[in-house]
Amino acid sequence: MTFSTKVKEEIASHEENPISAFTELSSFIRFDGVIKKNEIILTIENAKIARRIYQFLKISFNIKPKIIVRIQKRFRVKQIYIISITDNVSLILEKLGIYKNKKKTLAVDYLLANDEEKTAFLRGLFLATGSINNPSTSGYHMEFNIETKKEALYIIKLLKEFNITSKCLKRNNNYMVYIKSAEMISDLLKRFNAINCMFYFEDIRIYRDHKNMVNRLNNCEIANQEKTIATGLKQLEDIKYLEDNDLITLLDDKIKEAIIYRKKYPETSYQELAEIISQETSHQITKSCVNHYFRKIKSLVDAHKNKNGLKE
């Protein structure tokens, strides 16, 4: 079972009040229904969703739609549930706010009067055409497949009312509205009342965030070590230059002491070198002191090279 299926089945397991059920039904038929002159056809692959939509139709319109179960053998054997509505089709479409004067319209305001109804509308859309990646196997991604650009932009606007940022991408003849933010996907799962799936999603998210943080810290540590080693090797080159050109005598005793310890500990950082010198000698020095000493060494080397035309 895919993660999308788990989310949808958890959503479908919850009961809804009549108003939310009506709004969810409106959304589901709008985005999943095949609407003919005297018939609405819903093709559903999940038994729990099919049962939910069937019950909502009975509650909202006091009708008993025809339901056909077919066995699909393509790729793998599975049952397909086809719900056919032939009673009062025009009236149902008008009341659900899908059609007005026999023309398809955007959702009417009275169906989306508050946050609960707006959530129900988005929930119906997700049950109809939505999908979500399993966070343990791929990146964070939730999407909705929508037939027209006008409706896709409407969904983007509706999601924005819940501070959820989404984008639209044309895919074949349809439009895909998608969300990439893990936090926003989690928030939407919570709104859909898919609490168990939300906790699973959050557990994976926390694990991945922690793993990424550890990797970043390790990478930073490796980079710092490489930088420290490169700095130490360059300072050893400067020290050798001073020794080869009899320039060590121009330095004071503290810098000469730093040179001795750098030669003994070429791979240590300034902080580590300062601590070693402080522990092994009778006087305390700081990281900034060590840095200052080696800047003086570099200045002396650069000045001598410039004087002798050795530096480019």
Looking at 145, 161, 193, the residue that finishes a domain is: 193
Give backbone dihedrals phi and psi of 41, rounded to 5 degrees, phi first.
Answer: -115, 125
Q: How far apart are CA 116 and CA 55, in angstroms?
A: 20
| 63 lies in the same domain as 185 | yes
**Residue 204 counted as domain residue:** no
**Residue 75 counted as domain residue:** yes
Report residue 85 CA to chain centroid gap.
39
| 87 lies in the same domain as 141 | yes
| 179 lies in the same domain as 86 | yes
pTM of full prediction above 0.75: no
In three-state form (DSSP H/G/I as H, E/B as E, the rest C), the secondary structure along 169-217 is: EEECCEEEEEECCHHHHHHHHHHCCCHHHHHHHHHHHHHHHHHHHHHHH
Total domains in the chain come to 2
| 159 lies in the same domain as 246 | no
**Residue 201 counted as domain residue:** no
**Residue 61 counted as domain residue:** yes
**Full residue range of the structural domain in which residue 268 is found:** 212-307
Torsion of CA 81, 119, 105, 67, to 10 degrees: 10
Q: How many CB atoms lie within 10 A of CB 241?
A: 16
User: Can you give the pLDDT at residue 71?
Assistant: 81
DSSP labels for 117-175?
A: HHHHHHHHHHHHHEEE--TTTS---EEEEES-HHHHHHHHHHHHTTT---EEEEETTEE
| 250 lies in the same domain as 169 | no
**Residue 55 counted as domain residue:** yes
**Residue 46 counted as domain residue:** yes
**Residue 230 counted as domain residue:** yes
| 169 lies in the same domain as 107 | yes
User: Can you give the pLDDT at residue 279?
Assistant: 85
Strand 40-44 to 130-132 pairing? unpaired
| 33 lies in the same domain as 170 | yes
| 171 lies in the same domain as 37 | yes
| 247 lies in the same domain as 300 | yes
| 54 lies in the same domain as 184 | yes
**Residue 207 counted as domain residue:** no
Q: How far apart are CA 118 and CA 123, in angstroms?
A: 9
| 189 lies in the same domain as 44 | yes
The domain spanning residue 105 has which CATH number? 3.10.28.10
| Per-residue tens of pLDDT for the chain, all 312 residues | 889 999 999 999 998 899 999 999 999 999 998 988 889 999 999 999 999 999 999 989 888 889 888 887 666 677 889 999 988 888 888 888 888 877 888 877 778 889 999 999 999 999 999 999 988 887 889 999 999 999 999 999 999 999 999 999 998 889 999 999 989 999 999 999 999 999 998 888 888 777 777 778 777 877 777 888 888 888 888 888 888 888 888 888 888 888 888 888 888 888 888 888 888 887 788 888 888 888 988 888 888 888 777 654
User: Can you give the pLDDT at residue 312?
Assistant: 47
Q: How far apart are CA 269 and CA 213, in angstroms?
A: 24
| 44 lies in the same domain as 166 | yes
